[in-house]
Structure formats: C-alpha cells, structure tokens
Amino acid sequence: MIILSLIPDNWAHIHLLVNHFPIITVFWAFVFLLWAYIKKNNSLFKVGLYMLVFTALFSIFSFISGEQAEEFIEHSQAIQASYEAIEEHEEAAQTANIVAVVTGIIALVFLFFNLENKLFKLGLIALAIVVLILMAIAGHTGGHIMHSVELG
C-alpha cells in the first residue's frame, strides 16, 4: 500500500517529479564539458555531450508534463496562484525547452560526426551555460506557482 501511495495521481505531481531533471543534467553537462575542455579529455567531453542530449529529452518530458499540469491546476478548486505567474513560468519554460532541444541536437551532431573543433567545443560550453541559466529561470518562476498551490 505504501508503494501505491508513491505513484503520482495527476500531471501536476508528475511535473513536480520530473522538472528537476533537466536542471540537474545540464548543470552536470556543463561541469563535464568544462572539465573535459580544460583537461583536453575527449572521452569526458563525450559524456558531457550525452548529458546535453539527456537534458533535451528530460526538458521535452518536463515541458509536456507542465502543459498537462497547467490544465490540471487551472481547473482545480485549490488553485491560489495567479494566471500571470503560470504564464510567466510557461514562457520561461518554453524558451528553456527550445534552447535545450537545439543544444541537444547540436550535441548529437557533434557525437555522430566525432567533431574535434576547439571553437565548436567552446560554443557548446557556452550553450550549456545559456541552457542552465534559462532552466534556472524556468525553475524559479515555477517555484512561485508551486508554493502557492495545494494539490490535495
């Protein structure tokens, strides 16, 4: 019975469970990419690239679950969040999602063609920083919603 109580019963709960993954993976992707660049370690750089791909995948799932969560909380009697806060979060998440997916696609191209260009590596590190900042903004604006909504 305890295990069944751990299963999320709505999209808002699912979104709360998955929305941290893109933030965490892009943070570690940045750390791996930067460390690999400094140490000139191509294997470690590839780990960072794979993490960017996972960031994109987690971002897509987080965005989809967020869309569904929005539908749930908009029709919930327990909602206390303003629609402005929801829209602000949605816009921030959409921007973060787009940049994360584009970055993930670039990382896949880099992996597929086994590119070794220094400038390209620096560009990916810069993109990872941009994704991290955008994810942090999306997370921050989402926190404003979730702290004022009871999901009962």
Give the pLDDT of residue 144: 81
Reported as a single tens digit per residue, the pLDDT across 58-89 is 999 999 999 888 887 776 655 556 778 889 99
Reported as a single tens digit per residue, the pLDDT across 4-39 is 455 566 787 888 889 999 999 999 999 999 999 999
Task: Supply the Cα-derived Rg of the chain in whole angstroms.
Answer: 17
pTM: 0.85
Let me know: does 111 contact 46? Beta carbons within 8 Å.
yes
Q: What is the mean pLDDT of the chain?
A: 87
Give the pLDDT of residue 79: 58
Q: How many C-alpha atoms does 120 have within 13 Å on its Cβ side?
A: 14
